[in-house]
Structure 1
Amino acid sequence: MQALADLTLFHDLPSLAAAIVAVFLVGLSKGGLGGAFALMGVPILSLVMSPVQAAALLLPVLLMMDAVSLWTWRGWLDRATLWHALPGAALGIGVGGLTAAYTPEAMVRLLVGLVALGFVARMALARRAGRVPATGQHRLRGTVWGGVAGFTSFVAHAGGPPFQVYALPLRLDPRVYTGTTVVFFSVVNVIKLVPYTALGQFTAPVLTSALVLVPLTVGSTLLGAKIVKHMRADAFYPLMYGMITLAGGKLVWDGMTALVAG
């Protein structure tokens, strides 16, 4: 354990255990099981290290998960969704990088959580009334929600719900939806490397810690993908709406707790 402590951020068994739980949950999410699990990564790691270290550790882990997911979901994507959402995401990351020092993360989490819960409530009411809104591809809407996803992903690691607000109503085939989501956030995470590197976040202990977690990173991502590939659409979409509800609730809780504590 001492050798591991000298080279990584895992200075004791609790810190290693927290990393294992966090990476396992995030891997299930990256495999295709939705964003709620992904939001648990930084909070769990923040129990045993600083939030800045937790966020820095997760980015190379996420990039490894992206590589596994891109291979697993190769060929399953909707190019129109990416065409509409990715330019906005790049712009959102740029804005996030320039304004991160002045943007209260707690407020961002609270607002994203409220948007996610409002979206689910709107869809639920429409379904109950028998008039689920038919939404197709839309350049402006895709750019706006892609931009919000890029910004919130950089500032608060909460890009999932804004992207889902645009992508879920498209009612893509579950495998196409998952593959498209994988490509979108793979590109987002690669772009985030530039400002994170400029901020000096990737220290030797951070990178070594990520390397130690490679087997779990690969295994948990493949497990998430295996579960999703065996799901029917009538089970997949209720799960996704359930996940965005959980994610929205957690973001609201995290944001309000931090604002009250501050």
Structure 2
Amino acid sequence: MELDATFFAFAIPAVLFAGMSKGGFGGGAAFAASPLLALILPPQYAIGVMLPLLMVMDVTAIRAYWRLWDWRNARALMAGAVPGILLGSAIYSIADPDLFRLLIGLIAVGFVCFQIARGRGWISVAPRPFSAIRAGSWGGVAGLTSFISHAGGPPAAVHLLGQNLGKTTYQATTVLTFWWINLVKVPPYAMLGMFSRESLTASLMLAPVAILGVLVGVVAHRVVPERLFFQITYTFLLITGSKLIFDALT
């Protein structure tokens, strides 16, 4: 892993986009950073670099949304995420890098397809009463996909979108949930060797970009329409995910 111009050319916009999404601008697009970095790094290094940065983003964002979350939904998602994370660590220990490239690529492309279908009305998420079992189940899926590629946002969104939460309550609930999920991922990531001196150095160098992205996202969440951001993010995700799938299969 080399911290050269190519690395930062990919990493800076990826981390900035992720920070803006964590701040509330761009929905579940925060995980776009991992597929972008996986184009130039082995998957384990890509997600290893991103975890400390996501934790910096979580701490920055949680102050902006302090106590605005729905605790009942957040608590159930957080509890359910733990077994999902444990399953992810078990899968990682027996998988090769190409499997993770394939999974990250499929998650990226699947997320874009889901959002396009939802935006066009082909898929709708009907309001439904709270169920701790249902929320915990979606939390388990979020924990698993978050472990694999920091892509827990879409499964959590599927549950939360049916809860009739306001925009700010929804964002605050996801911020709290993923603050916990990312914290729980640290020990298994460390045991599986996903952190290195170089990855932690890269995370430290990119931390100001992460904080800036969150602050920009918090402001944009309140005042800016998200349509253009979504279009750009989804385009990058579709191209990146397709490339990772191609690389994994060939």
Normalising by structure 1, what TM-score? Answer: 0.79
**CA 26–241 in structure 1, closer or farther in 2 if over 3 Å, else same:** closer
- Determine the C-alpha separation between the residues in 2 that align with 1:69 and 1:172: 18
Point out the more displaced range, 75-84 or 243-252: 243-252
- Determine the C-alpha separation between the residues in 2 that align with 1:120 and 1:137: 26
Offset, 1:62: 0.7
Which of the numbers 202, 206, 209 marks the counterpart of 1:209? 202
What corresponds to 2:153 in structure 1?
160
- Determine the C-alpha separation between the residues in 1 that align with 2:237 and 2:209: 27
- Determine the C-alpha separation between the residues in 2 that align with 1:178 and 1:91: 23
Identity %: 30
How well do the aligned residues superpose, as a CA RMSD in angstroms? 3.2
**CA 249–216 in structure 1, closer or farther in 2 if over 3 Å, else same:** closer
1:191 partner amino acid: V
What corresponds to 1:110 in structure 2?
106
- Determine the C-alpha separation between the residues in 2 that align with 1:211 and 1:96: 26
- Determine the C-alpha separation between the residues in 2 that align with 1:113 and 1:41: 14
- Determine the C-alpha separation between the residues in 1 that align with 2:104 and 2:208: 33
Offset, 1:81: 0.7
The question of whether the paired residues in 1 share the 8 Å contact of 2:106 and 2:241 is answered with yes
Offset, 1:212: 1.3
What corresponds to 1:194 in structure 2?
187
2:193 aligns to what SS in structure 1?
coil
**CA 239–70 in structure 1, closer or farther in 2 if over 3 Å, else same:** farther
- Determine the C-alpha separation between the residues in 2 that align with 1:185 and 1:199: 21
What corresponds to 2:176 in structure 1?
183
The question of whether the paired residues in 2 share the 8 Å contact of 1:120 and 1:245 is answered with no
Which of the numbers 222, 232, 257 marks the counterpart of 2:246? 257
- List runs of 5+ in structure 1 lacking aligned partners: 1-7
- Determine the C-alpha separation between the residues in 1 that align with 2:115 and 2:201: 40
1:195 partner amino acid: P
Higher relative contact order (CA 8 A, sep 6+): 2
**1:57 maps onto 2:60 in alignment:** no
Offset, 1:91: 1.1
Which of the numbers 132, 135, 138 marks the counterpart of 2:131? 138
Q: Kindly tell me the number of residue pairs found equivalent between the two proteins.
A: 245
The question of whether the paired residues in 1 share the 8 Å contact of 2:107 and 2:151 is answered with no
**1:97 maps onto 2:93 in alignment:** no
- List runs of 5+ in structure 2 lacking aligned partners: none
Which of the numbers 8, 25, 31 marks the counterpart of 2:17? 25
1:75 aligns to what SS in structure 2?
coil
What corresponds to 1:13 in structure 2?
5
Point out the more displaced range, 155-164 or 185-194: 155-164
Deviation string 1:89-117 (CA, Å, 9 cap, x unpaired) is 11100111122234533247536854874
1:89 partner amino acid: A
- Determine the C-alpha separation between the residues in 2 that align with 1:166 and 1:243: 25
